[in-house]
C-alpha cells in the first residue's frame, strides 16, 4: 500500500512555496533509540574492558540497526512545480521512490471515515479509521495517509473529544492537499457531518475556478434552499436556473464546475 499510516499528531507537515511534504517517522523509532543506547554502553564497555573483538562487533551492529530504525521514514511529496505526487522511502542517506502520480491523473481527493465495534476478550473497543486517498482517472484509488485507533466503548466523553480533534486534523490536511493539487475534496457519506450536498460541492469548485478565471472579480455563489431548490447569486442578482444567466462566461464556468463534479462522482462510492 502506498501512503502513510500513523498518528496524525506525529505526521510532520512541511509547506513550501510549491510543495507540500508529509512525513511520518519509522514506527520502530523507539526501538532504534534503545539499540543506539545499547551500542553506546557496549562500546564503552569494550574500551574499558579491552574487548576489542566481539564487543566492538556487537556494538557496531546495534548502532547500525539503531541508526537505520531512528533515521528512516516514509514521505509523500506533492510537488506543484513538477505537477506530481511522489511516494518515497528514506533510509539514512538513501531514497527509494515507490511511485509517482501526475496531478492530471487525479480526479479528486477523498476524505473517508469508518467506525466499528470490535470485541476483544472481555472488553469492547471502538475502532476508528480516517483516510485520505486519491481517485484516479483509471478507476484506481491510492491512499495518501491513514490512521487507526481503538478506545474502550465506555469512554464516551473521551471518544467525543477524540472524534472532534481528529476531524479537525484530517479536514485541514485534506484542504491543504486540495490546495496544492487544485482538486476537489469529497467527503464520503460516513464522514461526520456528511453528506455534503451536491450544491455545496459544486460551489466549492466554482470558487476555485472563479479565482483562476478572467472574471475573478465577479461574485458567484450557489446555495441550496430549504425546499431543495437551487439559488445562483451573480453580482447580487438571484437566478434559479442556469439558463437564466445572461453572462455566458459565468454560465460556462458553472457548467464546467458541474461537469467536474460529475467526473469525480463516478469514483465517489469507491473505497481503497
Q: Could you tell me the three cell numbers for 203? A: 460551489
Rounded Cα distance between 95 and 88, Å, is 7
Give residue-wise pLDDT tens across range 6-58.
555 567 888 888 899 998 776 666 777 787 788 887 777 777 766 666 667 77
Q: pLDDT value at position 194?
A: 59
Contact 100, 85 (CB under 8 A): yes
Residues facing 126 on adjacent strands: 117, 151
Q: Could you tell me the three cell numbers for 187? A: 467527503
Contact 132, 173 (CB under 8 A): yes
Q: pLDDT value at position 27?
A: 67
DSSP 8-state class, residue 18: S
Q: pLDDT value at position 177?
A: 93
Contact 233, 245 (CB under 8 A): no
Rounded Cα distance between 70 and 32, Å, is 5
Rounded Cα distance between 222 and 238, Å, is 10
- Expressed in angstroms, the distance from the first to the final Cα of the chain is 10
pLDDT tens for the chain, 272 residues: list them: 566 665 555 678 888 888 999 987 766 667 777 877 888 877 777 777 666 666 677 777 887 777 777 778 888 999 999 999 999 988 877 888 889 999 999 988 999 888 888 877 777 888 888 899 998 988 888 989 888 888 787 776 677 777 888 888 898 999 899 989 988 888 887 888 755 677 888 888 888 888 878 887 889 999 887 777 789 999 889 998 888 998 999 999 999 888 888 776 655 544 44
Half-sphere exposure of 111 (CA within 13 A, CB side): 24
Q: pLDDT value at position 270?
A: 47
Residue 232: which of 211, 202, 256, 262 has the closest Cα?
A: 202
For the chain, how many residues are written?
272
Amino acid at each position: 500500500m502506498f501512503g502513510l499510516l500513523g498518528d496524525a499528531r506525529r505526521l510532520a507537515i512541511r509547506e513550501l512555496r510549491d510543495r507540500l511534504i508529509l512525513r511520518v517517522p519509522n514506527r520502530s523509532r523507539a526501538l532504534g533509540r534503545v539499540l543506539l543506547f545499547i551500542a553506546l554502553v557496549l562500546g564503552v564497555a569494550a574500551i574499558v574492558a579491552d574487548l576489542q573483538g566481539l564487543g566492538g562487533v556487537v556494538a557496531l551492529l546495534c548502532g547500525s540497526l539503531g541508526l537505520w530504525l531512528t533515521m528512516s521514514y516514509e514521505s509523500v511529496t506533492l510537488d506543484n512545480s513538477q505537477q506530481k505526487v511522489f511516494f518515497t522511502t528514506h533510509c539514512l542517506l538513501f531514497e527509494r521512490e515507490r511511485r509517482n502520480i501526475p496531478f492530471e491523473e487525479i480526479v479528486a481527493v477523498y476524505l473517508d471515515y469508518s467506525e466499528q465495534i470490535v470485541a476483544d476478550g472481555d472488553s469492547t473497543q471502538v475502532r476508528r479509521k480516517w483516510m485520505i486517498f486519491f481517485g484516479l482517472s483509471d478507476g484506481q484509488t491510492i491512499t495518501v495517509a491513514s490512521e487507526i485507533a481503538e478506545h474502550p466503548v465506555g469512554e464516551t466523553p473521551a471518544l467525543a473529544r477524540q472524534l472532534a480533534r481528529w476531524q479537525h486534523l484530517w479536514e485541514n490536511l485534506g484542504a491543504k492537499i486540495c490546495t496544492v493539487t487544485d482538486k476537489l475534496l469529497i467527503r464520503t457519506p460516513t464522514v461526520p457531518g456528511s453528506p455534503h450536498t451536491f450544491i455545496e460541492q459544486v460551489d466549492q469548485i466554482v470558487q476555485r475556478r472563479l479565482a483562476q478565471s478572467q472574471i475573478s472579480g465577479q461574485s458567484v455563489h450557489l446555495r441550496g434552499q430549504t425546499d431543495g431548490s437551487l439559488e445562483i447569486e451573480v453580482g447580487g442578482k438571484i437566478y434559479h436556473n442556469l439558463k437564466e444567466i445572461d453572462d455566458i462566461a459565468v454560465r460556462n464556468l458553472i457548467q464546467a464546475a458541474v461537469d467536474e463534479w460529475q467526473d469525480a462522482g463516478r469514483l465517489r462510492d469507491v473505497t481503497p
